[in-house]
Chains A and B, each alone.
Chain A
Amino acid sequence: MKQSTKIYFTLLCGLLGMLTVSVAEDSAVRENLSRSILSEGAEQRQQVAALADTGSKLVHDVLVAWTRDNVFLVTTGAVKIPVLLEDLTDPNGKARAIVIADGKFLLDENKKELRFGPTELTAAETDSALRGVIQQTLDSLALADPNPDSRRNAILKLGNSHKLKNIAVLQTRLAKETDASVRRSINEAIAMLQLGDRDPKIQSAAAHQLAALKSIGSLDMVTALANNKSAAPEVVQAANQAIVKIDGHIGVVNFFGTIFRGLSLGSILLVVALGLAITFGLMGIINMAHGEMIAVGAYTTYVVQNIFGAGFAFSVNLPFTFFGHPLGFGLHLPGMNATGAFYESYFLFALPLSFMMAALVGLVLERTVIRFLYRRPLESLLATWGVSLVMQQLFRMVFGANNVQVSSPNWLQGHFTINDVLLGYNRVFVIAFAVLIVIGTWLLLTKTPLGLLIRAVMQNRDMAACMGVRTARVNMMTFAFGSGLAGLAGAFLSQIGNVGPSLGQSYIVDSFMTVVVGGVGSIVGTVYASAGIGTSDQILQQVTGSPVTGKIVVLVCIILFLQWKPGGLFSIRSRNLD
Chain B
Amino acid sequence: MAISETSLRDVLLFTFDEINAAGGVKLGDQSYKIEPVVVDGASNWPLFAEKAKQLLEQDKVAVTFGCWTSVSRKSVLPVFEKDNGMLFYPVQYEGEELSKNIFYTAEAVNQQATPAVDYLLKQGKKKFYLLGTDYVYPQTTCLILYKYLLLHGIPAENIGGGFRKDDSGKVISAGKYVPFSHTDFQQIVADIKQFAASGDACVINLINGDSNVPFFKEIAAAGLTAADCPVVSFSLAEDELRALPTKDLVGELGCWTYFMSINTPANTSFLKNWDAWLATQTHPGVVKEKRAMDSPMVLSYNGVYLWKAAVEKAGTFDVDKVRDVLEAGVSFAGPGGSTTMQKNHHTTKDVFIGETKANGQFKILETFPQVVGEPFLLKGLDAKLAAAK
Contacts and interface: CB of A to CB of B under 8 A. Distances in A.
Contacts of A132: 227
Contacts of B217: 408, 495-497
Given A132-B227, A408-B217, A422-B222, A546 B176 contact: yes
Interface in A404-440: 404-408, 413-415, 422, 424-427
Interface stretch (B40-48, B70-78, B184-192, B265-273): B184-192
A415 B245 contact: no
A219 B198 contact: yes
Nearest to B119: A128
A551 B184 CA distance: 11
Interface in B177-233: 177-179, 181-184, 186-188, 190, 193-194, 197-200, 210, 213-214, 217-218, 220-223, 227, 230
B355 interface: yes
B187 A258 contact: yes
A404 B243 contact: yes
Given A219-B198, A497-B183, A545 B162 contact: yes
Contact of B223 (A407, A415, A538, A546): A415
A548 B197 CA distance: 26
Contacts of B250: 68
Contacts of A403: 210, 213, 243-244
Contacts of B177: 546-548
A403 B182 CA distance: 15
Contacts of A506: 181, 183
B194 A216 contact: yes
Contacts of B245: 405-407
Contacts of B186: 261, 264-265, 424, 427, 538
A257 interface: yes
Interface string A210-246: 0000001111110000000000000000000000000
A44 to B, nearest CB: 16
Nearest to B358: A69
Interface string A523-555: 000000000000001100110011110010000
A427 B250 CA distance: 23
A135 B227 contact: yes
Interface in B240-257: 242-247, 250-251
B198 A218 contact: yes
A489 to B, nearest CB: 13
B47 to A, nearest CB: 20
Interface residues of A, number: 56
Given A127-B363, A135-B227, A547-B187, A405 B358 contact: no
A160 B199 CA distance: 7
A250 interface: yes
B179 A415 contact: no
B357 interface: yes
B197 A216 contact: yes
Contact of B179 (A125, A131, A404, A547): A547
B17 interface: no
Contacts of B222: 415, 422, 424
B194 A405 contact: no
B3 interface: yes
A39 interface: no
A414 B219 CA distance: 10
A484 interface: no
Which of A221, A257, A401, A547 neighbours the largest number of chain B CB atoms within 10 Å of its CB?
A547
A414 B223 contact: yes
A128 B187 contact: no
A568 interface: no
Contacts of B244: 403, 405
B198 to A, nearest CB: 4
Nearest to A547: B178
A422 B190 contact: yes
A128 B214 contact: no
B350 interface: no
Most-contacted residue by chain A among B227, B245, B365 (CB, 10 A):
B227
Interface string B287-326: 1000000000000000000000000000000000000000
Given A402-B243, A415-B223, 20 more contacts: A127-B365, A160-B199, A217-B198, A219-B198, A258-B187, A265-B184, A406-B245, A407-B245, A407-B247, A424-B186, A427-B221, A496-B183, A497-B183, A497-B213, A498-B210, A498-B213, A538-B186, A547-B184, A547-B187, A548-B178
Interface of A: 68-69, 125, 127-128, 131-132, 135, 157, 160, 216-221, 250, 254, 257-258, 261, 264-265, 268, 400-408, 413-415, 422, 424-427, 495-498, 500, 506, 537-538, 541-542, 545-548, 551
9 contacts: A160-B199, A264-B186, A402-B242, A415-B221, A496-B214, A496-B218, A497-B183, A541-B187, A548-B134
Q: Closest 3 interchain pairs by CB?
A: A160-B199, A220-B198, A217-B197
